[in-house]
Amino acid sequence: MASPPLATIGPASLLLLYGLDITLLAVYGLYALFQTLVFWQQPASPDSDDVKTSPKIGPEIDPAPCPNVTLQLPIYNERHVVQRLIEAATALDWPAEKLQIQILDDSTDDTSDQIRAVLSRLEAAGKTQGISIEHCQRRDRAHFKAGALQQGLATATGAFIAIFDADFIPPPNFLQRTLPAFDDATTGCVQARWGHLNPNSSLLTRAQAVGIDGHFIVEQQVRHRLGAFLNFNGTAGVWRRDCLEQVGGWQGDTLTEDLDLSYRLQLQGWHIVYLPEVVVPAELPVQLSALKRQQFRWAKGSIQTAIKLWRPLWRSPQPRWRKLLATLHLTQYAVHPLMVLNLLLILPISLEHSPLLNFAPLFTVAALGPPLMYWAALGELEGEELGEDERRSFAAWRSHRVGDAWSVWAFC
């Protein structure tokens, strides 16, 4: 009978492995704690005059000088939500003659029929008048979303490319609020914050909302404020077309083409602007299977991107602190296998009565990093505008979300 893998490791090697494991976990925990402390030290202000933190949003843009904009809507079997996305895209407050909509449809079910039906209905109602709309269908799904976006660029007419996944609903003034950030010639991409359409549908959606809010309210703002590398999140953002073409466009060799492109952009001197005050609501997955597929793509894709870009990153002239923060950002999903390894090692280490266990309490501070980050995000949300019913029930809602924050920390 074969021995368990850990049974073949000597006490010294086991101790070394455990020490390395908890040290790396502590590093990631302290990284989350560091971001939270920076966030608390310098709270974001929508009225700030610091263009780097929050570019000024001026009045509605005069139609005359409006640039041409292409909306790319990558679709794959989204029959339940595609209608509202197209309706929201055609309702954007932008001159129709300056707007192009590309529906990049890789669907294999009846979503394509639904797209044609909603386009016909909107055309009959006069809601697409003057807007150039392309319903693009590929013969194969080569490189998946990255391939669809790259192929769409071939016929795109806009100087700026806005991207929305099927489960998002862009507000009518989205372009008016994001395009002024491109007044800075070094801005290659603008990312808006994700909101939620169904955060209270279930414990699963509440936990997801906590995790996403922690990322967008704390992590993205802190990275942007520090001048560290941050990422376009795949949707609810706008790209400068010249930048896209200069850095090599979309590439399908990772599952997170958005993260890959974001880092290639910044390594070549472009910048990403994050606008936390511009919120684009989206529907959270309500099924555990859908969430698992999503998390698998994000986890595998981020590690693929880290493997692909760690050499260019560390050979670049960027300061070391920025390289270090970027490395932690790209490899943050390594926390999951490290936690599993920790669980496998804790029993044999305890049986060995290792003196290393005496230092375990010191790592508790690091373990507070993730839940505190989620708590900071909840505190920021408390100050935002809520409806009357939400205002009355906010305390109960927050207590649920705090419990969810601990659930996310323990699970993730």
Q: Which domains does the chain have, with CATH numbers?
A: 69-326 (3.90.550.10)
Q: Annotated catalytic, 106?
A: yes
Mean pLDDT score, 131-151 = 95
Residue 116 pLDDT greater than 60, yes or no:
yes
The answer to whether the CB of 78 falls within 8 A of the CB of 47 is no
Which pLDDT score is estimated for 55? 39
Which pLDDT score is estimated for 147? 97
Pairwise pLDDT comparison (47 vs 27), residue with the higher score:
27
Which pLDDT score is estimated for 364? 80
Which pLDDT score is estimated for 52? 38
Sign of CA dihedral 269, 275, 280, 281: positive
Mean pLDDT score, 158-182 = 97
Band (pLDDT 50/70/90 cuts) for residue 387 is: very low
Q: Which residues on neighbouring strands pair with residue 238, listed in sequence order?
A: 162, 190
Residue 45 pLDDT greater than 80, yes or no:
no
Which pLDDT score is estimated for 351? 80
How many whole angstroms separate alpha carbon 377 and alpha carbon 404? Answer: 13
Q: Among 8-12, 15-19, 102-106, which is the least confidently predicted range?
A: 8-12
- Helical H runs in 316-334? 320-330
The active-site residue, picked from 21, 106, 165, 213, is: 106
Mean pLDDT score, 290-308 = 95
Q: Annotated catalytic, 183?
A: no
Band (pLDDT 50/70/90 cuts) for residue 404 is: very low
The answer to whether the CB of 90 falls within 8 A of the CB of 101 is yes
Which pLDDT score is estimated for 379? 84
Which pLDDT score is estimated for 94? 95
The active-site residue, picked from 21, 105, 165, 258, is: 258
Number of neighbours of residue 391 by Cβ within 10 angstroms? 11
**Tens digits of residue pLDDT in 269-296:** 999 999 999 999 999 999 999 999 999 9
Q: Among 59-68, 217-226, 232-241, 373-382, which is the least confidently predicted range?
A: 59-68
Measure the N-to-C terminal CA separation of the chain; round to a whole number of Å.
34
What's the mean pLDDT when you consider all of the chain?
87
Closest to 279 in 3D by CA, of 381, 185, 374 = 381
Q: How crowded is the C-beta side of 348, counted as CA atoms within 13 Å?
A: 20
How many whole angstroms separate alpha carbon 96 and alpha carbon 111? Answer: 25
Which pLDDT score is estimated for 171? 97
Closest to 172 in 3D by CA, of 275, 74, 99 = 99
Which pLDDT score is estimated for 64? 63
Residue 339 pLDDT greater than 60, yes or no:
yes
